[in-house]
Amino acid sequence: MVPTEPDSIATEKKEVPDAGLGQKVTVRLFGSIRAAAGSAGEEVEIPSGWVAYEFLRLLSDTYGAEFRNEVFLQTGELRDDLSVSVNGVITEHTKLGNLKLPDGAIIALLPTFPGGG
Summarised one tens digit per residue, pLDDT across range 79-117 is 999 999 999 999 999 999 999 999 999 999 999 877 655
Summarised one tens digit per residue, pLDDT across range 4-63 is 333 443 434 444 444 467 899 999 999 999 999 999 999 999 999 999 999 999 999 999
Q: Give me the residue spans of the domains in the chain.
A: 21-111
Report the topology of domain 21-111: Ubiquitin-like (UB roll) (3.10.20)
Tell the burial category of 34 from Cβ atoms under 10 Å away from its Cβ (0-12, 13-18, 19+): buried
The answer for residues whose C-beta is within 8 angstroms of residue 71's C-beta and 6 or more apart is: 33, 56, 59, 60, 78, 79, 82, 109
Reported pTM: 0.79
